[in-house]
Amino acid sequence: MNQNTIQITDGNWTQEIHNYKGVTLLDVWAPWCMPCRMIGPVIEELADEYAGKAKIGKLNADENKKPTELGVSGIPTMIIFKDGQEVDRIVGVVPKNTMVEKLDYYLMAD
């Protein structure tokens, strides 16, 4: 994980997601998941490109209970939050521009 990607856990959920004012892209993944590993480098790129504009985080589905609470049934799942509330969800491997379009939309929607 690069310096712009935040590791999200059950323990820091409230601080990093729930109480955060702004846009967050959360990648719910697992180390054994090949599609997750395929999209991982794209998430890292987005973290660098959106540094200072949006928070990009990764939540390991094997090590945390939060994915179950969020109703995640397949991984990778990318969830977009605005001001701590879920506003969008992407399931599966998608092109980078799909995530860019959604992030840009929520960054401009005020």
Give catalytic residue positions: 33, 36
**Which tokens go with 23?**
């846009």
Start-to-end Cα distance in the chain: 30
What are the strands of the beta sheet with 23-29, ordered from one edge? Answer: 5-8, 55-60, 23-29, 77-82, 85-91
Helix orientation angle between 34-49 and 96-108, rounded to the nearest 10 degrees: 40
Instruction: Return d(Cα 47, Cα 25) in angstroms, integer.
Output: 9
